[in-house]
């Protein structure tokens, strides 16, 4: 296959190359000439044995050609493009797929409610540990057994001891319910937590929203996330043995910026323990559209969908391991996806050019103010 670098673009003009490119859904046909995107041209040179020459007939190596395109995150885009193509699947520039495709359906989560029926009680707050202890075993027992608030005795061994411990989220919720009388003021509890837990206000707002919707929300420490959650009505005993959570909940504040390797680590732990990872993006933020890189065609029955016979399944955000992503950027990319009614597929090229995929699907939680998404590791 013969390609030409004209000083601005890579293109193909001979009929044999054009036929091959059209068949493979590469490039854009403009007045009898195929114009290629940088990633497409690099792929053809790297993998398909294409030869690219400049106007003087000089052959350009991969590096010589890539050097023409030293644009923003070229390699992250190229490596994720290559990975999708190597799987025998089709991929097009996102700018060519700006319709609406009806392929994103929100996952509905049911709503319950939280009505606390306990007498008033007292507690002592330990600022250094962000924990409240309550030595009223009767109230502590009801809160633990009926609402799964606090921890009697020891985790999974409520009989070991007579004291209940409440974490700082539970402490604030109980203060706000008017049931708990503490040795310190609410604002002091809040400010201690703010000192220690990053974006505490955002994290607490998410906690409150799920508790208010009747869910049980406990620490996700064992699973590397802010919280683990149980559906409304869950109790520690659950009737038969211990109740296991099936979902973890992690808060990604709009203003926080996370290196991709850390972002992925949180999802990996959840995946390794077979729990569904829910990402919360609290707050409203600016509602502008965000960046996406490619439109992805996926499988269909035994074959594959193509730009000729089908429509895209996802939009791809191409990232590399050492890149940063903020909650605001992700929220904006997700907004673009929502408008085109496609789910977002985050593709991360690591330092070894191996690509990991995370599929992000919208969650509908009735009455919620924030955005929630299920994220799952996917092998396309």
User: Could you tell me the smallest distance in angstroms from the CB atom of residue 170 to its own copies?
Assistant: 8
| Position 266 contacts its own copies (CB under 8 A) | yes
Q: Binding residue for its own copies (CB under 8 A) from 16, 19, 29, 67?
A: 67
Task: Enter the tokens of residue 183.
Answer: 């040795």
Confirm if 25 and 307 have CB atoms less than 8 A apart: yes
Q: Is residue 218 involved in binding its own copies (CB under 8 A)?
A: yes
Provide CB contacts within 8 A for 265, sequence distance 6+.
Answer: 224
Q: Which of 25, 142, 163, 338 contacts its own copies by CB under 8 A?
A: 163
73 counts as binding its own copies under rule CB under 8 A: yes
Question: Does 162 interact with its own copies (rule: CB under 8 A)?
Answer: yes
Q: Judged by CB under 8 A, which stretch of 17-25, 257-265, 278-286, 334-342 contacts its own copies?
A: 257-265
- Asked whether the beta carbons of 165 and 150 are under 8 A apart, the reply is yes
**Between 186 and 221, CB nearer to its own copies:** 221
Q: How many residues bind its own copies (CB under 8 A)?
A: 74
Query: Could you say whether residue 133 binds its own copies (CB under 8 A)?
Result: yes
Instruction: Catalogue the active-site residues.
Output: 230, 244, 275
State the nearest-atom distance from the C-beta of 119 to its own copies, in Å. 17
Q: How far is CA 73 from CA 29, 44, 69, 185, 252, in A?
A: 26, 19, 10, 49, 23
Of 16, 19, 257, 272, the residue at the interface with its own copies (CB under 8 A) is: 272
At residue 29, φ and ψ (nearest 5 deg) are: -80, 115
Binding residues among 5-44 for its own copies as defined by CB under 8 A: none
Give strand pairing partners of 251.
Answer: 280
What 3-state class would DSSP assign to 172?
helix
36, 76, 206, 251: which one binds its own copies (CB under 8 A): 76
With binding defined as CB under 8 A, does residue 89 bind its own copies? no
Stretch that binds its own copies, among 8-16, 60-68, 238-246, 329-337 (CB under 8 A): 60-68
Does residue number 74 form part of the binding site for its own copies (CB under 8 A)? yes
Instruction: State which of residues 19, 100, 146, 221 lies at the interface with its own copies (CB under 8 A).
Output: 221
d(CA 79, CA 75): 6
**Structure-token match 């390609």, residue found:** 3
- Taking the C-alpha atoms of residue 218 and residue 144, their distance in angstroms, rounded to an integer, is 12
* Smallest gap from residue 47 Cβ to its own copies (A): 5
Contact between 258 and 300 (Cβ < 8 Å): no
Q: What is the dihedral of CA 364, 348, 323, 331, to 10 degrees?
A: -20
Decide: is 46 part of the binding site for its own copies (CB under 8 A).
yes
Any contact of residue 151 with its own copies (CB under 8 A)? Answer: yes
| Among positions 30, 58, 59, 160, the unique one binding its own copies when judged by CB under 8 A | 160
Residues 250 and 317: beta-carbon distance below 8 Å: no
The region of 5-13, 89-97, 101-109, 352-360 touching its own copies under the rule CB under 8 A is 352-360
Q: What does the DSSP assignment read for 61-129?
A: PHHHHHHHT--TTHHHHHHHHHHHHHTT--EEEGGG--S------PEE------------EEEEEETTT
289-328 residues in contact with its own copies (CB under 8 A) are 320-324
């Amino acid at each position: 296959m013969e390609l030409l670098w004209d000083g601005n673009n890579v293109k193909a003009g001979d009929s044999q190359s054009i036929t091959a490119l059209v068949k493979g859904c590469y490039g854009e046909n403009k007045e009898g000439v195929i114009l290629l995107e940088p990633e497409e041209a690099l792929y053809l040179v790297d993998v398909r044995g294409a030869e690219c020459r400049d106007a003087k007939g000089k052959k350009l190596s991969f590096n010589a050609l890539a050097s023409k395109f030293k644009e923003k995150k070229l390699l992250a885009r190229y490596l994720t493009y290559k990975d999708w193509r190597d799987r025998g699947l089709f991929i097009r520039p996102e700018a060519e797929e700006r319709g609406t495709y009806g392929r994103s359906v929100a996952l509905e989560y049911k709503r319950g409610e939280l009505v606390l029926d306990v007498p008033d009680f007292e507690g002592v707050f330990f600022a250094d540990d962000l924990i409240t202890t309550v030595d009223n075993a009767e109230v502590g027992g009801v809160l633990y057994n009926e609402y799964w608030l606090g921890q009697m005795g020891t985790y999974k061994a409520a009989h070991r001891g007579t004291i209940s411990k409440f974490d700082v989220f539970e402490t604030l919720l109980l203060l706000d319910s008017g049931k708990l009388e503490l040795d310190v003021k609410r604002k002091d509890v809040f400010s201690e937590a703010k000192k220690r837990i990053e974006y505490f206000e955002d994290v607490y707002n998410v906690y409150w929203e799920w508790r208010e919707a009747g869910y049980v929300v406990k620490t996700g420490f064992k699973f590397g996330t802010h919280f683990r959650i149980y559906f409304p009505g869950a109790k520690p005993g659950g009737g038969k043995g211990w109740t296991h959570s099936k979902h973890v909940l992690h808060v990604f504040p709009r203003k926080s910026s996370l290196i991709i390797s850390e972002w992925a680590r949180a999802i990996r732990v959840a995946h390794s323990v077979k729990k569904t990872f829910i990402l919360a993006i609290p707050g409203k933020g600016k509602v502008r559209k965000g960046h996406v890189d490619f439109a992805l065609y996926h499988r269909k029955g035994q074959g594959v969908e193509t730009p000729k016979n089908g429509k895209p399944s996802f939009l791809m955000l191409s990232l590399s391991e050492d890149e940063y992503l903020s909650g605001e950027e992700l929220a904006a990319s997700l907004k673009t996806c929502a408008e085109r009614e496609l789910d977002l597929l985050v593709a991360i090229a690591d330092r070894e050019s191996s690509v990991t995929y995370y599929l992000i699907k919208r969650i509908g939680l009735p009455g919620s103010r924030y955005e929630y998404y299920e994220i799952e590791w996917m092998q396309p």
